[in-house]
Amino acid sequence: MQILHFDIKPHNILLDENFTPKVSDFGLAKLYPIDDSIVSLTTARRTLRYIAPKLFYKNIGGVSYKADVYSFGILLLEIASRRKNFNQFVDHSSQIYFTTWVYGQFSKGNDIEMEDATEEEKKTTKKMIIVALWCIQMKPSDRPSLMNKVVKMLEGEVESLQMPSKPFLSSSPRRPIGDVRDILNSDSSSFQ
C-alpha cells in the first residue's frame, strides 16, 4: 500500500530531537495499492498555497501521488528561498507570484537572498531549487515519478541537474534535459 498525504506543508513537518523530519497530520490521507497510480476524488481539501494545479482548477476525478510531489516542491522552494510562497507585502508585485519570481531570479543566475552564504550553501540551495522546480511542473507527467527519485536528485551533485521548463503555464519552449529525464521517469524504485 501507498499513502497519498494530500496536505504536505510546513505545519505538517515535525522535527524530532535529532532534527529528523517526520510527516504528521494524516487526516486527509488515503491509502491505495502500489499498482494504482490514480486515486478518485470528488473534492479538493488541502491548503491552497500547496495544492497542485490539477486540484486547484477543480479538475477533480483522477489524482495521483504527484499531487504530493507538487506540494513537496513548493515546500522545498520555501526552504531554499527563505520566504513563503505567497506574501502580499512584497517589495515588487512580480514577487507575489512566487514560482514565477523564483524561476525568473534563478534562471537569470541571481542568488536568492544568499549574500552571506558559503559556496557549499549556495550549491545546496541551487540543487534544492532545481529539484523543487522539477516537482512543481504544471503537468503531473513532467514531475518526478517517485519521491525516492526526488531524494536521489537531492543527494546527487548539482552539476548533474538541469533546469526544467517553467513550472507554470508558459508559451516558451521546453529546454532539453538530458539524463535527468531518465532519473525522473524511470520505473525502477531502487538506486545504487
Q: Which candidate in 7, 25, 36, 179 is catalytic?
A: 7
15: part of which helix (H) or strand (E)?
strand 13-15
**Is residue 134 a contact partner of residue 73, using CB atoms and an 8 Å limit?**
yes
Which set of grid coordinates corresponds to residue 35? 499498482
**Is residue 103 a contact partner of residue 165, using CB atoms and an 8 Å limit?**
no
Rounded to an integer, what distance in angstroms lies between the CA atom of residue 25 and that of residue 8?
9
- Please give the distance of CA 118 from its chain centroid, rounded to a whole number: 24
Q: Residue 185: name the closest of 71, 8, 51, 66 by CA.
A: 66
Rounded to an integer, what distance in angstroms lies between the CA atom of residue 54 and that of residue 60?
7
Q: Residue 77: name the closest of 157, 168, 139, 148 by CA.
A: 168
Give the phi and the psi of residue 47 in degrees, each rounded to 5.
-80, 120
Assess whether 7 carries a catalytic annotation. Answer: yes
Burial 24-44 (b: 16+ CB within 10 A, else e): eeeeeeeebeeeeeebebeeb
Active site (catalytic) residues: 7
